[in-house]
Each structure stands twice: as C-alpha cells, then as structure tokens.
Amino acid sequence: MAEVVEGSSFSKWKLWKSNLNDCVTRWEFLKGTDNTTAHAANTANETKEIYLNRVAADELAIKACQDFEDFVKSNITDPWTANATKLSKNETEVVLGEFPKLQWEAAEKQYIHDYIKAEKAQAKTLLALHNDDA
C-alpha cells in the first residue's frame, strides 16, 4: 500500500518515490543472489530450477516497484518540481496542481496486484525449498 495520499506534501511524495527506489535496489540484490545460486556448479538441477523461478519472481517485484516509482516521478514529483520552477519557488511553497486521481488509483491498484503476484511467486519457491518462511 502506498504511504501517501492525494493531499500529501511534496516531501512525503519524494520520500515515497525514494522508498520505491529502495525496493527496486533490494529486489535487484536478491535477484543477483538467486541467480548466482541458480548457476553455481554445486547446485542440484532440481534446486537450480527453483532458484531460476525465484529470479523470475524477483523480476516481478522489481517491475512492480519500478513501474510505480516511474508513475510517481512522471505524474507527481516531476510536475510538482516543474510548477515550482515555473513560479520561481521551491516545492514546499507550491502545490502540485491538478492531482491525477483516476490515474493514481489505477497505478496504485496495479502496484498492489503486481506485488501480490510477485509475493505469491516467491512463496511458491520457498515452499519448494521447504523453507519455513513461506
């Protein structure tokens, strides 16, 4: 779930965008680790397949976070900054203007859907590895 709403300040939107970027970074790290394990010489074929599935699940999570971050950047933070620049003010002194409410609702729902899909894919791999975290 997003940590911001229509009336949130610029700093909160910027922080949310940063959180999404951090999410991408964390999943990229996990993807690298899973990929390394999948291709390790001592990884059994059955386990290799599970880790390749984990890489695919990692990619789903990365896409969910990246797409939502891109939406926030192009529809919230960049236009807010452009409005401030146009008025020769900083972002705290201006408002976004018209909030893209319908687009925001659609993007947020898509993010939640995509992230749940990624988490479900991750859970399947944990079950296959007999990991108690599943």
pLDDT values of the chain reduced to their tens digit, one per residue, 134 residues? 568 889 999 999 999 999 999 999 999 999 999 999 999 988 888 889 999 999 999 999 999 999 999 999 999 999 999 999 999 999 999 988 889 999 999 999 999 999 999 999 999 999 998 876 54
| Tokens found for residue 56 | 């695919």
Strands (E), the chain: none
Q: What SS3 class is residue 99?
A: coil
Ranges of each domain in the chain: 10-128
Number of neighbouring beta carbons within 10 Å of residue 114: 19
Number of neighbouring beta carbons within 10 Å of residue 15: 14
pLDDT at 46: 86
CA distances in angstroms from 79 to 53, 73, 128, listed in the order given: 38, 8, 45
pLDDT at 68: 95
Q: Are 70 and 23 in contact (CB under 8 A)?
A: no
End-to-end CA distance of the chain: 21
